[in-house]
Amino acid sequence: MAANSRVPYGIYESDSSMNHLDPLFAATAHNTATHTLTEFLHKVLAATR
């Protein structure tokens, strides 16, 4: 996906304790997908200001 975008590089996160549905249904406090996405979006928003 990063290769076909204007994003200069990709950083990949993984969590072997999560299954394919956990990003949608895991409790917010334990959802590593939500946490990493939130950090990423904060950085993107800060860069656009």
Number of domains in the chain: 1
Q: Running DSSP on this structure, what letter comes out for residue 30? A: G
Q: Is 48 a domain residue?
A: yes
Q: Is 31 a domain residue?
A: yes
1 vs 48, residue with greater confidence = 48
Q: Is 47 a domain residue?
A: yes
Q: Is 1 a domain residue?
A: no
User: How far is CA 7 from each of CA 2, 16, 25, rounded to the nearest angstrom?
Assistant: 6, 26, 28
Q: Is 15 a domain residue?
A: no
Q: In the structure, what pLDDT confidence band is assigned to residue 2 with cuts at 50, 70 and 90?
A: low
Separation CA 35–CA 40 (nearest Å): 9
Range of the domain at 43: 25-49
Q: Is 10 a domain residue?
A: no
Q: Is 7 a domain residue?
A: no
Alpha-carbon torsion (6, 7, 8, 10), positive or negative: negative
Identify the CA nearest to 13 among candidates 40, 36, 30, 38.
36
43 vs 5, residue with greater confidence = 43
Q: Is 34 a domain residue?
A: yes
pLDDT per position as a tens digit, 20-46: 888 888 888 888 888 888 888 999 899
